[in-house]
Structure formats: C-alpha cells, structure tokens
Structure 1
Amino acid sequence: MKNNYNSRIKIIGVFILTMFTFYSYSQRKSIRIIDTKTEQGIADIYFKYNGEEGFSDENGNIVLELTAEAELFLSHLQYGKLVFKNSEVEQFANDGTLRLTESVAFLPVTVVAVHPTAGDKRKLEFSAQNKLAHDAGSLLEAVPSISSIRKSGAYGFDPVLRGFKYDQINLVLDGSQTASAACPNRMDPAASQIPINMIAEAEVQKGPHSLRYGNAFGGTINFKSSAPAFSEKTKAVGRLGTSYESNGNIFRTEGVAGVSGAKTDFRVFGAYSSGKDYTDGDGVTIPAAFNRLNWGGKFGVKLSNTQQLGLLVSNNIAKDVDFPALPMDLREDNTWLVNASHKAIFYDKVLSSWNTSLYGTMVDHLMDNYDKVLDPRKTDAITDAETRNYGGRSELRFDFKKGFLYLGADYRFESADGYRTRTMLMGPMAGKVFTDNVWQDAEVNRAGAFGEWHITQPGFKFVISGRMDYNSAKANNPDPRFKNIYSDLEPTHVHPSLSFGGTRLFNEKMSLGLWMGMATRSPGIAERYINQFPIGLDPYEMLGNPDLDPEKNNQLDLVYRYQSAKTNLHVNVFTSVLRDYISSEIREDLEPAMATSPGVRQFVNIKKAFIAGFEIGWSQQLTKQLLHDFNVVYTYGENQDIDEALPEIPPMEFSYRLSGSFVDGKVQPELFFRHALKQGRVATSYGETETPAFSVVDAKVSWLINNVFSATGGVQNIFDKAYYEHLSRSVRNAEARPIYSPGRSFYVTLTIHFL
C-alpha cells in the first residue's frame, strides 16, 4: 500500500510539474511593439511565431502563445525584417513591450521639426496649428536651408533650396503627383496647391542623392498625405480648427470629418482662409488681400492585411489675391488634384512591396491688371491660362539580409496653354485689342526608370541611387515670331543621373557621411517656350529657348552627426559644380511685345557656375522642461562666365529657438530669434540690389487643455521691426520699394481634435 501511495504521489508530482512547465511555455502573452523615438504603437507589423502569423493591431499589440525554442519573425517596411531568439521573446513578454528603431540611411535630409528632438532622419511634421496655414511655401521656411521668392505679401511663396529654385526642385505630393504653375509669373507655384490640412509631413531631401521620386536636380520636397487609419470598431473621426491674426485681419479655419472602420477609412476635409492688407514695421500699408478655399476627400480601402487602395481628391480655389510686385493680380485660380494608389505588401518574400499610383492635376488661372493703380492707364490686360499634369509611378522593393533595393518607373506629362489680351486705352491705338500667345500650347513628356540600393555593413551604410530619363517637348501652337527665331521646336533629350554615398557609424552617437551625385535636368516649359512675357527678376520680357542644353549638377555633401540622449549636432558642407546652367541674357536685336518693357531677355546656357555652402544645426535638452536649438546656414553662388553672383541667393542666417514643456507637456512656451546678414553679393545684371541685415523675434505659448481642446497664442515680430527678405520682389511703382514683411502681429489658434 505504501509503495502504491508513493507511486501515486510521484505520478501526481510529475503531472503537476509537467502542467506547470506546459503552462509556463503555453500561456498567451500580449506584447506591444512601439517606436523607440515616438513611444507610439506600430500598427500592421507582420509577425510569424511557432506556426502562428498575423499583424499587430492599431495600437501595436500582438498576442503570442509562448513556446520553448521558437523564434519571432517581424516584418515592416519602415523597420525592416527582424528575427528574435526565444530568450529575447520571453523578455519582451515579461516587459510587455518590444521597441523598434526605424531603418535610416543617413541621407542628407532636412534637420528640422515642429518640436525639435534628437533623431537621425528629421522631417517637418505638421501639427494641428500648421494645418491652418494656407500656403505650404510659407511653412517650408521653417527649414533653415529654404527661403521663398515673394511676389505677394501673403500668397504664392515659391521655395528656394540652397539657391536652387523653380524646376530645379522636384516638388511632389505622395512621391509622384506634381502641379505646374499656370501663371507665367508663378502666382500659383506647386507649393501653393498642396492641401495642407491633409498632409502628415514634408520630407526635404537635399541634393541629387535620392532619385526615386523624379529628377532631383537640386533636391526633392515630398509632401506626404495622412495615411488611412483603420480601426477594429467603426468610429467617427474629426478635427476643427480656427485662428485669427491681427496684422492683416487674417482669418483661417480648417476641418476634417469622416468614418474609420476595419476595412474602410473615409474623410472629407476643408479649409478657408482670407486676409486683407497689412502694415510693415514702418507703418506702411502692403497690399496683401487674398481668399483661399480648399476642400476634398480621401478614401482608403483595406482589401486585406497585405493590400490597400487609396483615392485623394482635392480642389483649391484662390480669388482676388494682390501681387504688388507683378503687373497683374490673381483674379481666380482653380486647381483639381486627383490621385489613385494601390499598395501591396509581401512580408515573407524577397519582394516586400509593390506601390503604384496614377494622378491628374488640372490648373485654371485668370489674372488681370484691373485693380492696379496706373497713372496714366494705357492698357487693360487679362491673361487666361491653364496647365495639365498627368502621370504615375510604380515601384518594387526587395529586402535582403544586408539591405534593400527599390526598382521602378515613372511618367509625367505636362502642358501649358494661355493667352494675354491687351486692350489699348490711349493714343492712336486706343480701342485696339491685341492677343499674345503666352504658352504656345507647349508640352513636355518625361519617362524615367530608377533604382536605389541601400546596403548595410557592420559600421557602414551605403546608398546607390540612379535613374535614366527620356525627355521630349514641343509647341503645338507656336507663335510666328517665335518660329522665326528657332528652327527646331521639338527637342529630345536622354540623360542619366547617379548618386553614391555612404555613412561611417563610429559608434551609437557619431557618424560621418560622404555623398556624391551627378544629376542632369532638361529645361522646363517656361525655359523652352515662354513667349516674351515678363517673368523674371526685372521687367524684361522673357523669351524661351528650345535649343537649351540640359543642366548638369555635380554635387558633393559631407555630413557629420553627433547624437546623444540630450544633444544632437548636425553639420552639412556641400558644393555643386554646375555646367550648362540655365540663365538669361539681353537680346538687343529683339523688340518687346509691349512698349513699356525695357527689352527682351532670352534663356541661355552659361558654361560654368558654382554653388557651395554649409548648414549647422545643434539642439540640446537643457533640462527636463527646456530645449533649445541653434541653426546657421550659408549659400554662395557664382556665375563663373561673367564673374558675378548668381541671382536670388539668400544671405547667411542664424536662428535660435528656446522651447519649454511644462505641466506634463500640456503647456509649451517658445521663443524664436532669427538674424539675417546683409546680402551684398548680388547679380547687378539682373537688377538685383543689396539687402540690409535684420533681426526678428517671435514668441508663442501652446496649451493642451485636454485630449480634445488645444489653443495657441503668440506674437510675431515682437519689436515691430521694419525688414524685408532678400528674395522679396519690389512693388511695381515709382519707388520700387521691396515688399516688406509684416510688422508686429498677434494671433490665436483654437483646435478641437477628435482624430
């Protein structure tokens, strides 16, 4: 009996031990996968573990049945493919958290954010307050290396990146969509057509070092719209914001409303802004009236955990906008943007994703001089123009053990047409009407194939990027005067672009990168076909030139980074050796179309030009509550053919920001100081004049009242300084006074946030 009893005890003990062991390995555990920097959960991470597979939910959670000797496989486009041993999985399960760091290649990307923090890849992230802005060009000025050409006090800011401008910058929406200014004077640059309140972030890639999104001659600005946010339970989402600015009586409002579900995400958005004339620091009134309405919708469909469809439709309407630096004002600009996309992800294959998008952009523009004060008024003029952009891109990504590869192709079609009608009011020609063929119904077709290979080695990261472009152009309705000057109106170019660079990672804190790029850019429509219309820095009529050769940029970037828990230092030194740079020269043998013009300038190639400069950014966490950052940027440009400065190069600038975070991050004050040095290096042959130095100080306080309500109040130009930017054009009057920036202005913003 005693032996039987002991045997039973042993059997029960073994059973309990076995059950305990089984339970310890078979219990289901929840692990939340979060981003190391943002501390936010990462949705839609594919996982495979002991025969189970699935995706993390919207909060980044996965549930595993722990088993001995099983490995955890994770896959995500932003974080790569990772394998964790059983011991690591057990630790994650005990902690309840698995932290991942986004894969980066240390490319020369902008180093600025709304609330700067130490990080590798820095982006301009749009907060709820930024979404109230009516012009993306003004927002981009937060990037130290970007300035704006201003022909109006409040609208149509045209970005300049390191001295590169217009078609030298590749500005896209969601990596593909483009918009072309229908206005010959670029009252409606591509940046002004971006639907700001549906943009999540803007990535500024400096130089010709990433060629995936098009011909990045001087750099790429990629605006990324908000991704669909699917949720397990159907729920209503929305946001409403409004703001008022005292100097100029600027009123802005924006909102988003929609429904998010497990398979669909639908949102409608709208924004309206209006303003009047403002006063500068000297009390002078600057014409700056504008009205802008933007509305549209974004629709996402989750076909499965591996496939999504997306559709973005946006309509932008600007009316009655003052452009004191131009001979006309904007009467109406009506733009439609349509973008359809398909995304497929393959988690456990070498081919990891396939993204395809198709888009169309239609711009209709009307401008006139009816509100211009002219004494005497000799002519009434009106210009009706339109541009059309169509295209698409398809891109494959392949993941390997030590890197990943992008391969793809893209196509862009761009056309411009429009006429200026002049009615003579005085003299012997009074009553006569003249029609000028401004755009000549011109078009450009661009087709390209590209590849970008990211290679990871111990202590090193390399990127090889290249593309081949085919570019053809023609004028479907050439003006007789234009045909008499040129024999060939249908140029065709085939040109390559290539970049190679790498980063040496000395340790977790310090790295040094060297990037070499060669990009070639074919001339744009205005450079080829504008037909004697004043679109430059001076009032000369510009004449396009289809005989232009493509520009060539040979650029070198040296990037140093030091990053610790409380300090981030970034130094970027760059130089560009330019060949066949597109500029212009006066043609004494050509008569202007209008007697009021001093003459005609023709677009030409100059053999040699040079751009160089540096950017330094330093941010430091002073205390738990205080952060400060300092930036200095400088660009030098030289026309080596005539030993003169390149036109429209901004001066050296310094900026300093001190920001705080109090009451658990709910109260965030900020003080901002900016100083621009005198710009004495000017292109006198273009009528460019020197700009005096200036300093300006801004301040604001943001208050997160609760999870729904937030408010911001501030003052711009606290000391009411009278100043103007070097890239601001001059008012077209007898004084030719530059467009001064606004004097002191108070503003307040209120946001109701349900998203």
Structure 2
Amino acid sequence: MKTFYSVLLCTLITAITYGQEQKKTIKDTTTQTTTKLNEVIVTGNLKTDPVLTVVSNKYDEKIVQPKNVADLFNNIIGFSVIKRGNYAIDPSFRGAQYEQLNIQYDGGTKAMHACPNRMDPITTHIIPEEISKIEIIKGPYTVRYGATFGGIINLVTQKPDYEDHGLHGKVSGGYESNGNSLVNLVQLQYIKDKYDIVANAGYRDFGNYEDGDGKEIPSSFRSTDYGLKIGYNFSDDQRLQAHWRQSFGRDVLHAALPMDTEYDDSSIISLDYSLDAIGKTVKSLTAKAYYSYVDHLMTNYNRPSFMMMEAASGVDAITAGGKIEINWKPSEKINVFSGLDALHIARDGNRTRLVKIMNGNALPSPMEFNDKVWQDSYITDLGVYTEAKYSISSKTIFTAGIRYDNVTSDIQDPEDDFAAMYDLEKRTEHNVSGTVSIKNRVSDKFTLEAAYGRGVRSANMIERFINHFSVGQDPYEYIGNPDLKAEVNNQFEIGFKGYEPLKNSFNSFKYETSFYYSFFENYIVGIVDESLTRKFNPTSEPSNPKVFRNLDEAYKTGFEAMAQVDFLDHYFLKTEFSYVYAKNKDLAESLPLTPPFTTRFVVGFEKVKFWANIQYNLTSKQDHISESFGETETDGYQTLDIRLGLKPIKNITLGFAVINALDEAYNNHLNFSFTNQEDFGSTPITEPGRNFSAFLQYSF
C-alpha cells in the first residue's frame, strides 16, 4: 500500500505541474466554470455514461418516507433488503448481495464491516438524509470502479450548490410513530469562488417497532453522525477536496442475530483531486485516496444465552484504497479511460467467553475462553484497467473494457485447528474481467442497450478465514476456505426504454425494461462437511459445520419492467415488475437469498409545491428456496404506502407518510430468523406494522 500511495502522490504532483505548464501555453477563449469532482457515475451524457444504469429518486428533494436506511433501496425496482433487525440491513439486487455488489460512496470511497455477522454493513456508516441520489449499474458492465461481480451501487452525498455563494444551510427533523423514533440533521455550507465548506451533524433514536400483529420486535438503536467536506479550487479546471465523517452507533438490538451491538464507531476520510483541460489528447486526470476504520463491540449480556455463557467480542476493520484515472482521446471518436486502483481490507479481533454451564452442569467457577474471530487477516486488491468508448455515430456508442486484479490474501494469527486444516501461506490470485456493450439512441424517443460482462470476485474474508462461527441464516457453524477460487459472473443483458407523446388529457407514455441471464463459475456456498464436528456447544445440533466450497454449475435469469402514463399535466400512473430465478444445479435447488416476484402500482401527483402518491406493493409467495441455506417458503403479501409532501412557504418542506397503511403482518423472504431471543421461535423476523411518519425541513 505504501508503494501505491507513493505513486499516487508523485502522479498528483506531476499532473499539477503539467497542468499549470499547459495553461501557460494554451489560450482558452471559452467561458470556464468551477470544476465539479467526479463523485457521480451517471452524468446524463450518452458518450460517457455506462450502459444499463438506473438513477433513483432525488431523496433530498422528495423526503417523505420514514428515515430508515432500508428506504433508500425499498422502492428501487430490482432491489430487496436483507434484514437482521432495524439497523443491520444489507441491499440485495437481483439476488446478488454482500461483496457480490460493489457498494461505494461518491464514486469510490468504501468502508467495510467489522462484524462477521454484518451488524455494521457499509450502509450504516452514512445517514439517509445525506444521500441525494443512488446510481446503479445493473451488472459488470464497466471496469472503472473496482472489481465488480453483480453490479455497482454508488451512494451520492449532497454536494454544495456552487451557484449560490455565501452561507446557507438546512435544519430537519423527522418522527415515526411505530417505535417513537426521532431523526435530526443540521447542515451548513459556505461557498466562495476559491473554496467551499459543508458541515453536517445528525442524531437518530429508533425504538422497538411493532409488527402487524402488535408484537414488539427488539430493534432499537441510537446513532450520532457528523461530517465535514472542504473543497479548494486552484483554478477553473483544478480542484482538491477532503471529506471527513464519523458515525457512532450505540445500544443496537439485532432481532435475528445471536448478540447485540454495544457500540459501533466508524471514521472515514477521503481525498479527491481533479484536473481538467490538460491538453489536446490527455483531457483530464482524477485521483482519490481514502481510509476508514470501524471499531465494533458486540455482547450477549441481554440475551437468554447469558445465563449459560457470557460473551463479548471486540473486532475492528480497516479499509484503505485509492484510484488514479486518466481520460484521453486519441481521436475524435474514441474516448478512453485508463487507470489503476487499490483496495486493502484488514480485520482482527477476539471473542471472550465465560462459560457458566457445561454439558448441562453448572460450573463452580466460570471458565474463560478466547476465540480468534478474524485471525488477523487481510486482503489487498491492486487493479489496472482500460475502458474505451467508440462513437460509431452521434447516437451509437460501443464500449469495451478490460481489467486485471492482483489479489493478495494472508492470515497472520491463525487458530491451531484452522492451521491444521490448511497449508496457510500468503496467496496471490490473478483475475481478469471485461465487458463489451453497445448503446443506440435509435431516436429521441427510443434507446436500445445490450451488454456482456465478465465479473470476477475473489472470496471475501468470511468465506476465507472465518473459523467455527455462525454467520449464516441457519444455526450451522461455518468454516472458511483460504483456497477458494474466485467467483465468475458471465452476464448478458438487453434493455430498452422509450417515450411516446400522447393526445388529449394524456401527456406521455414512458416504458423501460431489461432482460438478463448469468451463468456462474466457481460460485461460493457453505456445504455441510460430515467429517468435521462443531467446535462450540458440541452437544448442540447441527453437529457438523459447513465449509465454504466452490460450485460448478449455477445460473440466474430475470427481468425488470416499468411503464408510466402521465396525464392531466401533473398526474401519473406507474407500474413496475421484478423477477429473479436462480438455480444451483449441483444441489438441485435455488441459490440462497433469491427474492420473490414483486409488483408495484403507483398513482401520484407532482407540482413544484405539492406532491403525493399512493403505492400498492404485491409480493408473491417464494417456494423456490435453498434448503441447504436454511430457507423456508415465504407467503406472499400486499402492502399499501401513502406519501405526500408540500412547501407551504418559502424554505419550508413538509413530508407525511403512512407506511403499511393496511397494518399487514408479514415477513420478507430475505429476512433472517429470530435468534437467541426471549419469546420468539426460530422464524423469520416480521416487518413493522402501520407506521405514521412526519418530516420537516427548513432551508436558508
């Protein structure tokens, strides 16, 4: 990593010097505007945007939903969420989850979880009020943003309004009735020609919610967050920006995990640099470096198992990386992006157990044990890539990209039993991924896109190095496998979208759809190993652990579709469909965590000062399941959500919502089951019942 950052620093110095020399010799007669950093992926430019992308709603403009991180994904077609409580929520897209999705902030910053049970996924380290939009690339259709297997999610934080100089800000607050939950945010920004400063602070206090049957679900948490973003413009074409943020989670209850979070503290710092208008061939240079640290403590102090065994686990995670990219144009029709990036993940930590009862007998004095959770492990990925866009015509763009990743992994403090299973040495993998695609704007009313992507993902740290810990949806202990081959996703997709003007009271008809097929190589799953026995609680069932293995044959196919009619100038009617079918041919069952068929109907009204919509959600029964993963069939359900917002006076925004207005009692198929809880069996956790929310924002 030191070598990478040295190269990054030298490149920045060279680029700045070169850029200043170019500006002395090249006379630019056009009007310049302040450079905006490349924090976004989708810019609305046919010649630079990736193929098959989705941009979600602008949350900072239409904030009317309850302020929970899950709401960032729940209403985006193709998405589901994996829920272990009200805090530990992971997004799932088309049945891809965890490290199968490349999730990042502002075009590249990452913060990986410290907990092996994912109590603290990347989405917990930023608050929803900071997100202005979410950008999604639906598959491995670009090589520019790190190794990508199932798609890219870019969480774009709110940026300064560069056109509005001086001091500005906003104060907001929200309330949810189900759990008596409160959220607050204060944001200030000061903008000048040469520099800008944005600061924010937020506090969230969520209580236990009740499901549709009136049962209280242990899900409360508190978190405090603040951030500071400072940008400096050396010139109209050159900018440097630093972003610092911290998040502090406290007293987090996890209904579907064996322990709760005492604290979860994260710190993230990133540095971004951009230089535009360098010369005739080399157009621009961007660079990023970031570092994050997560400190996490989980205990079972308030769980039934505490009477038999007292457990506390302190773990930490370091994520560091960076990127340098040059945009160059060897000819008028060819636009090339070349760069190198790095990602380093390191984790460590131990679990302390005080065993009070052994083999059903109370011990005269508790016995203390220490278990190595991560065994002081790391993974480093150094990547180099080139992606070229060729303008076949003014309306047709062909894209081809290739990427090489050098992945090094090592375990530096292994447990004796883990070391006895494997020949543990530092390992290096060589992964090659690539993509080809074409985007054709047939007319102003119709666009056709087609793509193939080969996405390659090396095994994550849980799959490599976990040692007899329960990290799945089932009660099995899992054992890692440092010799796993990298997963490969060969994904084909075709999509089209269009727009047709209508007559009379109807204004327009919009439609969009995508069809995809993926076949996987070396798909990673946990398989029961009957030659091994569980390590902890040896008299409990299941007695055999699972070991992560590669599968030979698995595939996935599906589609998303959307149709919308705009009428009477301000009204719309929209419907959306999403379907995924996955098959594990080796085990003759579905791949785990495959969402059911979902349908949405939305009718709404939108004006500048008032907007409202009613959304009807239909989720089908899911009986295509992975029994080996501990899944059970899930009944279908229907919910109704009502949202409205208004601006009664200048600078004031109000939002109201009723979520699950019918008070339906249900659970999503991807929800984990209650674990180590009083008065709850091993059934999937249920979702909140009827929930009223209100939101108020004052801007100045």
Matched, 1:495 2:454: no
Q: 2:354 maps to what in 1?
A: 423
Match 2:271 to one of 336, 340, 363? 340
After superposition, residues 542-557 of structure 1 pair within 5 angstroms as 542-557=478-493
CA deviation map 1:460-500 (0-9, x unaligned): 22111221000010001111110000013422100100100
SS at match of 2:512: strand
Contact kept in structure 1, 2:645 and 2:655, CA below 8 Å: yes
Q: 2:311 maps to what in 1?
A: 381
CA deviation map 1:362-389 (0-9, x unaligned): 0000000111134x82111111000001
Q: 2:616 maps to what in 1?
A: 673
SS at match of 2:623: coil
- Which has more radius of gyration? 1
SS at match of 2:366: coil
After superposition, residues 500-539 of structure 1 pair within 5 angstroms as 500-539=436-475
Match 2:551 to one of 594, 606, 612? 606
Q: 1:440 maps to what in 2?
A: 375
- CA shift in 2, pair 1:530/1:184, >3 Å: same
Match 1:472 to one of 408, 419, 424? 408
Matched, 1:216 2:133: no
**Counterpart AA for 2:698:** I
CA distance in structure 1 between the aligned counterparts of 2:204 and 2:164, rounded to whole angstroms? 36
SS at match of 1:393: strand
Q: 1:695 maps to what in 2?
A: 638
CA distance in structure 2 between the aligned counterparts of 1:714 and 1:126, rounded to whole angstroms? 14
SS at match of 1:418: strand
- Per mean C-alpha deviation after superposition, the further-off stretch among 355-364 and 222-231 is 222-231
Gaps of 5+ in 1: 1-45, 61-75, 81-99, 112-121
Contact kept in structure 1, 2:522 and 2:552, CA below 8 Å: yes
CA distance in structure 2 between the aligned counterparts of 1:605 and 1:131, rounded to whole angstroms? 44
Task: Give the C-alpha shift of residue 124 in structure 1.
Answer: 4.0
Matched, 1:577 2:577: no
CA distance in structure 2 between the aligned counterparts of 1:379 and 1:56, rounded to whole angstroms? 63
SS at match of 1:506: strand
Q: How many residues align?
A: 657
Q: 1:199 maps to what in 2?
A: 131
Match 1:658 to one of 603, 608, 611? 603
CA distance in structure 2 between the aligned counterparts of 1:530 and 1:253, rounded to whole angstroms? 38
Bigger relative contact order, structure 1 or 2 (CA pairs below 8 A, ≥6 apart): 2
Q: 1:114 maps to what in 2?
A: none
CA distance in structure 2 between the aligned counterparts of 1:674 and 1:107, rounded to whole angstroms? 30
Task: Give the C-alpha shift of residue 539 in structure 1.
Answer: 1.1
Task: Give the C-alpha shift of residue 689 in structure 1.
Answer: 0.2
CA distance in structure 2 between the aligned counterparts of 1:660 and 1:228, rounded to whole angstroms? 29
CA distance in structure 2 between the aligned counterparts of 1:108 and 1:462, rounded to whole angstroms? 10
Q: 1:33 maps to what in 2?
A: none
CA deviation map 1:557-605 (0-9, x unaligned): 0112212452221110001000110011112222222114623111100
Matched, 1:398 2:328: yes
Q: 1:302 maps to what in 2?
A: 233
Q: 2:78 maps to what in 1?
A: 145
Matched, 1:740 2:686: yes
Task: Give the C-alpha shift of residue 126 in structure 1.
Answer: 2.3
CA distance in structure 1 between the aligned counterparts of 2:116 and 2:41, rounded to whole angstroms? 44
After superposition, residues 610-649 of structure 1 pair within 5 angstroms as 610-649=555-594
Task: Give the C-alpha shift of residue 200 in structure 1.
Answer: 2.9
CA deviation map 1:162-213 (0-9, x unaligned): 1111111111112222111101100101122134443332211111101211
Task: Give the C-alpha shift of residue 308 in structure 1.
Answer: 0.6
- CA shift in 2, pair 1:275/1:656, >3 Å: same
Matched, 1:188 2:123: no
Matched, 1:356 2:287: yes
**Counterpart AA for 2:495:** V
SS at match of 1:167: helix
CA deviation map 1:233-261 (0-9, x unaligned): 5x111111101010111101111013111
- CA shift in 2, pair 1:123/1:646, >3 Å: same
Contact kept in structure 1, 2:473 and 2:673, CA below 8 Å: no
Task: Give the C-alpha shift of residue 228 in structure 1.
Answer: 4.1
Contact kept in structure 2, 1:128 and 1:751, CA below 8 Å: no
Q: Percent identity?
A: 27
- Taking only aligned residues, the RMSD between alpha carbons, in angstroms, comes to 2.5
**Counterpart AA for 1:191:** T
SS at match of 1:482: helix
Contact kept in structure 2, 1:356 and 1:394, CA below 8 Å: yes
Task: Give the C-alpha shift of residue 52 in structure 1.
Answer: 3.5
Q: 1:34 maps to what in 2?
A: none
SS at match of 1:646: coil
SS at match of 1:651: coil
Task: Give the C-alpha shift of residue 50 in structure 1.
Answer: 11
- Per mean C-alpha deviation after superposition, the further-off stretch among 672-681 and 566-575 is 566-575
Contact kept in structure 2, 1:180 and 1:389, CA below 8 Å: yes
- CA shift in 2, pair 1:736/1:428, >3 Å: closer
Contact kept in structure 2, 1:232 and 1:262, CA below 8 Å: no
SS at match of 2:463: helix
CA distance in structure 2 between the aligned counterparts of 1:132 and 1:270, rounded to whole angstroms? 20
Q: 2:222 maps to what in 1?
A: 291
- CA shift in 2, pair 1:532/1:651, >3 Å: same
CA distance in structure 1 between the aligned counterparts of 2:116 and 2:194, rounded to whole angstroms? 44
Contact kept in structure 2, 1:110 and 1:143, CA below 8 Å: no
CA distance in structure 2 between the aligned counterparts of 1:713 and 1:319, rounded to whole angstroms? 28
- Per mean C-alpha deviation after superposition, the further-off stretch among 354-363 and 430-439 is 430-439
Gaps of 5+ in 2: 1-22, 502-507
CA distance in structure 2 between the aligned counterparts of 1:673 and 1:132, rounded to whole angstroms? 15
Task: Give the C-alpha shift of residue 331 in structure 1.
Answer: 1.0
Q: 1:269 maps to what in 2?
A: 200
CA distance in structure 1 between the aligned counterparts of 2:149 and 2:69, rounded to whole angstroms? 21
Q: 1:320 maps to what in 2?
A: 251
Task: Give the C-alpha shift of residue 402 in structure 1.
Answer: 2.1
Contact kept in structure 1, 2:64 and 2:655, CA below 8 Å: no
Contact kept in structure 2, 1:79 and 1:102, CA below 8 Å: no
Q: 1:260 maps to what in 2?
A: 191
Task: Give the C-alpha shift of residue 512 in structure 1.
Answer: 2.1
SS at match of 1:139: helix
Matched, 1:731 2:664: no
